[in-house]
Chain A
Amino acid sequence: MGRVENKVAFITGAARGQGRGHALRLAAEGADIIALDMCKQLPSARYDLATSEDLVETRKAVEASGRRVIALEADVRDEQQLAEAFRAGVAEIGPVDIVIANAGVALFAVDQPHEAWQDTIDINLTGVFNTLETVVPSMIERGAGGAIVMTSSTAGLRGILGPSRGSLAYVASKHGLVGLMRSYANNLAAHSIRVNTVHPTGVETPMIVTPSIDAFLDASPELVAHVTNALPVGLVSVDDVTNAVLYLVSEDGRYVTGTTLTVDAGFANKN
């Protein structure tokens, strides 16, 4: 018996990285998956975003674990696309118990693209709001409770990453998620729908392990000289974040709501 047996999880940013990790692990623990990703490049991104092929790979990997899955290309900035994906997902897989609002971008780069501010806020903050507004009414109406996890960051707790437009946007968007989480947690508690954030330090994913981020950090040595994890580790793995997400969305966490769960190797306590 899996820890989320026969639950349905709606996951954004599921084509690769943390989103794919969550999809595969939840499936391994008995959940069926509605997997969304934009699968498009963003002009302000200085790294390759996920592709349609990535999303297909997530779908195939979930299928291989024996659970049901639908993979849908949808942009969290577009309410219409989200609504259509939600409708199609529920029709194919069933009503949603779990939401993992995970889609996000990191647009801090040496050349400071001007659109980095707006694109980051639109995807990392408004995209999460759009995701919840799309799914939550059905969870309330169904009356079966549920669990929502938003992917924040240590940058949602500390003013790190320096003065670039993309850095400020990233920090602001991830801090904004904490306020959004606390409000939804309050508003949805009476419905036994729990809402929490996870706050990873750097995670070994294609969003972070990429030449443009390396160049950005190389050009900003003050950001990395003293601002380090407490535990002797640089990047944590996707699995580490997934373990926290799994705890939060399983019955183990049935009274956990409104919490900022750090998976940060002690970063926030140290800095």
Chain B
Amino acid sequence: MTKKEILKNIENNLGDKTSLGQGCKENQYFLLVRDKRDIKEVMRYLFKDLGARMNIMTGVDGRDSVEVLYHMSWDKVGLMVTVKAFAEKPFPSIDSVTDVIIGAKWIEREIYELFDVKFKGHPELIPLLRSDTRPADYFPFKREVKEKHPTIREKEKGTKEK
């Protein structure tokens, strides 16, 4: 399939749940999922039917919700599509995609450990990188916790000369 055919298939089959937009580089696209409950179906379509490969997932902490990004790529044609879903605060949660893509097991554990996002249906949701001496309820990337870190505090106050 060529790049144009893949993008056309995405628009035709997922157009009612998502919206597609182009990024800064001409082969990087962003797919916004309007309702987070559709995420499993979107991922199943991209992974099984269109044959994408998942690179990684990312979490970004916003004001009202945590954005969960899924980076997918098609190597034969050189196309990258990033799927965005929003998990609303105060108790962010989203469906897990591990029964579609087995390779997502570890990254979902890491996003849970850093951002406190619950992935429903994950076989073993325990922290991946934690140690015995760091407290279990310390989520380093949550906005409230991050703002207290000394390097971020200096940046906000503007004391470091840049």
* Chains A and B form a bound pair: no
Interface of A toward B, CB cutoff 8 Å: none
Interface of B toward A, CB cutoff 8 Å: none
